[in-house]
Amino acid sequence: MSSSVMNISEHLSCPLGFGHYNAVDVCILETVVIVLLTFLIIAGNLTVIFVFHCAPLLHHYTTSYFIQTMAYADLFVGVSCLVPTLSLLHYPTGVHESLTCQVFGYIISVLKSVSMACLACISVDRYLAITKPLSYNQLVTPCRLRICISLIWIYSCLIFLPSFFGWGKPGYHGDIFEWCATSWLTNAYFTGFIVCLLYAPAAFVICFTYFHIFKICRQHTKEINDRRARFPSHEVDAAGDAGHGPDRRYAMVLFRITSVFYVLWLPYIIYFLLESSRVLDNPALSFLTTWLAISNSFCNCVIYSLSNSVFRLGLRRLSETICSSCTCLKDRDVRDPKPRKRANSCSI
């Protein structure tokens, strides 16, 4: 067992290790972290996808299109993380190291770009729902939503495509393969290109829309309180609850998802900028910031399940359906036990 671990540590880049035995321990730690994140991301996003398909009430919100797109993108993140997982568990692999590293970095960057763009589109959708409630259904249609999602995927695929032609690294750090760490370097111009066309516009749109959303909701709450002070009746309470209440609560759920996304991705983006500028080059920070950002693919599931009551209801119904089906199978086996086969018996 120890010889196999030593063999793994000789082939893998263990950025956090200082000395040979520390490198072995760090390789094991990296493997545990990546395997655990891969399992959690795949299991969590599969649960979200099944709940959305089984809970019709969730489809009343147009943002469910973007939430499901994010869930599929995060699921693909977990599936793509099987590449470093398998390379750590079954090294050496038969694939070309440089090509594997480039493809993996490109796929991860594209998928996270889809999530970032979906968060920006969700904020715009909530902004339109609150600022233009009467014309919202005419502005946001299922056809336009599908076109918007298609454009998000196309744009995300195109923006990172220059990395295949030698123009910088798309942003994947915490390199598992040695070639990624030593031969594939970041480029300040390509990093600026990504920041200007992806990170900065998405952050600006999200800050602008949520600032105005909460400003409008605060004004609406103030008006309701003034009416309650003047006319203390149940009609005012009912009018207030029928107004921006559900939209405000749903906007808060989406704001939590967006906030956690940027909290987890901000260290990664900062390190990406510093490394591209040749200001900082720390393999330990590279690994930590990368997998901290990738862990966001699982955090979305947790936040949504804890914050949305309709999602929790759908999750409970899905769990009850699975448990009832398992119970029915056990009851059927108890009622109709299968006869044991005998050596000299003829089955009809």
Please check whether residue 112 is in contact with residue 143, taking contact to mean a CB–CB distance below 8 angstroms: no
The predicted-structure confidence for 292-347, as pLDDT tens digits, reads as follows 888 888 887 777 666 666 677 777 777 777 777 666 666 565 555 555 544 443 33
Cα–Cα distance measured from residue 62 to residue 38, given in angstroms and rounded to the nearest whole number: 29
The closest of 348, 343, 293, 325 to 112, measured between CA atoms, is 293
In 102-230, which ranges are E strands? Answer: none
- Please confirm whether the linkage preceding 92 is cis (ω < 30° from 0): yes
Higher pLDDT, 279 or 117: 117
Q: Is residue 316 part of a domain?
A: yes
- Please state the rounded mean pLDDT for residues 207-221: 83
Q: Is residue 344 part of a domain?
A: no
Residues 6 or more apart in contact with residue 260 via CB below 8 angstroms: 296, 299, 300, 303
Residue 19 has pLDDT above 50, yes or no: no
Q: Give me the pLDDT at residue 150, please.
A: 94
Concatenating the DSSP letter of every residue in 105-157 gives HHHHHHHHHHHHHHHHHHHHHHHHHHH-TTTHHHHS-HHHHHHHHHHHHHHHH
Cα–Cα distance measured from residue 347 to residue 321, given in angstroms and rounded to the nearest whole number: 35
Q: Is residue 217 part of a domain?
A: yes
Q: Give me the pLDDT at residue 152, please.
A: 94
Q: Containing domain of residue 34, as a range? A: 28-229+247-330
Degrees, nearest 5: CA angle 128-129-133: 105
What are the φ and ψ backbone dihedral angles of 134, each rounded to 5 degrees?
-75, -40
Q: Give me the pLDDT at residue 2, please.
A: 41
pTM (predicted TM-score): 0.74
pLDDT grade for 242, boundaries at 50, 70 and 90: very low
* Residue percentage of the chain with pLDDT more than 70: 70
Cα–Cα distance measured from residue 343 to residue 118, given in angstroms and rounded to the nearest whole number: 63
Mean pLDDT of the chain: 74
Q: Give me the pLDDT at residue 149, please.
A: 93
Q: Give me the pLDDT at residue 81, please.
A: 81
Residue 1 has pLDDT above 50, yes or no: no
Cα–Cα distance measured from residue 98 to residue 119, given in angstroms and rounded to the nearest whole number: 32
* Residue percentage of the chain with pLDDT more than 90: 5
pLDDT grade for 155, boundaries at 50, 70 and 90: very high
The single residue listed with the structure tokens 């998802």 is 257
Q: What 3-state DSSP class applies to 196?
A: helix
| Lowest mean pLDDT segment, chosen from 38-47, 120-129, 139-148, 314-323 | 314-323
Q: Is residue 3 part of a domain?
A: no
Q: Is residue 340 part of a domain?
A: no
Higher pLDDT, 137 or 185: 137
Cα–Cα distance measured from residue 217 to residue 129, given in angstroms and rounded to the nearest whole number: 12
Q: Is residue 336 part of a domain?
A: no
Q: Give me the pLDDT at residue 337, please.
A: 54
| Lowest mean pLDDT segment, chosen from 109-113, 239-243, 325-329 | 239-243
pLDDT grade for 269, boundaries at 50, 70 and 90: confident
What CATH number did the domain enclosing 204 receive? 1.20.1070.10
Q: Give me the pLDDT at residue 234, please.
A: 52
Please check whether residue 179 is in contact with residue 101, taking contact to mean a CB–CB distance below 8 angstroms: yes
Q: Is residue 122 part of a domain?
A: yes
Q: Give me the pLDDT at residue 158, please.
A: 92
Please check whether residue 173 is in contact with residue 287, taking contact to mean a CB–CB distance below 8 angstroms: yes
The predicted-structure confidence for 62-102, as pLDDT tens digits, reads as follows 777 888 888 899 899 888 887 776 766 655 545 577 777 78
- Please state the rounded mean pLDDT for residues 282-297: 82
Please check whether residue 203 is in contact with residue 266, taking contact to mean a CB–CB distance below 8 angstroms: no
What's the Cα-to-Cα distance from 60 to each of 56, 97, 172, 209, 210, rounded to whole Å? 7, 46, 37, 21, 21
Name the most confidently modeled range: 103-117, 160-174, 181-195, 209-223: 103-117
Residues 6 or more apart in contact with residue 116 via CB below 8 angstroms: 198, 199, 202, 261, 265
Q: Give me the pLDDT at residue 147, please.
A: 93
What total number of domains does the chain contain? 1
The closest of 181, 179, 170 to 287, measured between CA atoms, is 181
Cα–Cα distance measured from residue 244 to residue 229, given in angstroms and rounded to the nearest whole number: 19
